[in-house]
Amino acid sequence: MSAALSGEDRAESIRMIRDSAAAVAPPGGDMKRVRDLRFQTPGFDPAVLRQMGEMGWIGLRLPEAAGGAGLGLGEACALAEELGAALVPEPLIPAMLTGSLLAAVGAGPLDRVLSGEALVLTAWQERPDTLDVPGSPDAPRRFLPMAAGAASFLLPVREGGRIALYEQQAGAGLTTEQTQDGGHLGTLEPSLATATRIADDIGEALSLALDEAALLTSAYLLGGMDRAFAMTLDYLKTRQQFGRIIGTFQALQHKAADVRMQIALTRASIEAAAATLDDGATGDARRAVISRAKARAAASSMLVTRECIQLHGGIGYTDQYDVGLYLRKAMVMANLYGSAALHRRRFMAVSPEVEE
């Protein structure tokens, strides 16, 4: 539906999505809630995930016939950006990925996923820093965000030249490891003997879903770096040293200008990618704009949040000060769905703008 909107109507749709995010991600964030959930199990609030489902966020990208809202990536990226600004820990992007797969095959627990009643994670990754899906039947599936809160897992399994899809209920075979931001990643041992086969071939649908998840993660990182910079500007305007506001020091002004430029370039790349995809780009053109956006967001999020810590001085290094939470989140999110290095390589391989 979004692709058919005029420019003015699409801008209004994106504005409304941003406004709706305040229900979960109020302006300025709710750092007490974020801190209370850190290093806890499951690391997020299931009631908030259900609220996201009730608001239609999990099915935001799905057609109305599949129970979704039929909106575009422009709206989805705007939502992800708002959630990133508030460091919302609920795994909305992984839930959206699963919803896309289940809607594509018309099977499995789609209603429970879209309502937020159950977190179902797609266990596709077998090794670090890849977008490839080997589908090995016995290989451990790694890097599952907030896996302790999942009701079940989707297992892509290669069978001949196709990738079938199974659902495995949560239980034995799952281990978790804490991450810097206070969440965790899970590793799942597949058990096809107890899993339910729900689709014969999901290869293309999974590839598209992973690309969209990469772009949405880029937008989440953008929201985090933008908010961290806003906090830093407030600090520079109020903190005094040697009888002067430190924001008047030319060296700090230069650093702040560099940070602002990184954020602006990241925003332009993400918005261009979302618009290109909403206009119907496919194949290499689609992959190129997504990889350009993710490479920039992954690299810039680390650079920006580190500079924000530096600009805060000693207080920025304390865990009690909120700006450090944004660096910790970037450290975890930057490599999800492909690192900056991986996406730079993919961009070079698929972009028609790059000469051989």
Residues 352, 100: Cα–Cα separation, whole Å: 28
Three-state SS at 224: helix
CATH topology of domain 204-350: Butyryl-CoA Dehydrogenase, subunit A; domain 3 (1.20.140)
Q: What is the pLDDT of residue 355?
A: 47
With beta carbons less than 8 A apart as the criterion, state whether 139 and 179 touch. Answer: no
Residue 276's H or E segment, with its range, is helix 250-278
Q: Of 300, 48, 253, 28, which is closest to residue 149 (Cα–Cα)? A: 48
Indicate the pairing of strand 196-199 with strand 152-159.
Answer: unpaired
pTM: 0.95
Length of the chain: 356
Indicate the pairing of strand 240-241 with strand 174-178.
Answer: unpaired
- Domain ranges within the chain, ordered by starting residue: 204-350
Indicate the pairing of strand 152-159 with strand 162-169.
Answer: antiparallel
- Per-residue confidence of the chain (356 residues) as pLDDT tens digits? 555 566 777 889 899 999 999 989 988 788 999 999 999 999 999 999 999 999 999 999 999 999 999 999 999 999 999 999 999 999 999 999 999 999 999 988 999 999 999 999 999 999 999 999 999 999 999 999 999 999 999 999 999 899 999 999 998 899 999 999 999 999 999 999 999 999 999 999 999 999 999 999 999 999 999 999 999 999 888 886 777 877 777 788 889 999 999 999 999 999 999 999 999 999 999 999 999 999 999 999 999 999 999 999 878 888 889 999 999 999 999 999 999 999 999 999 998 765 44
Residues 252, 67: Cα–Cα separation, whole Å: 50
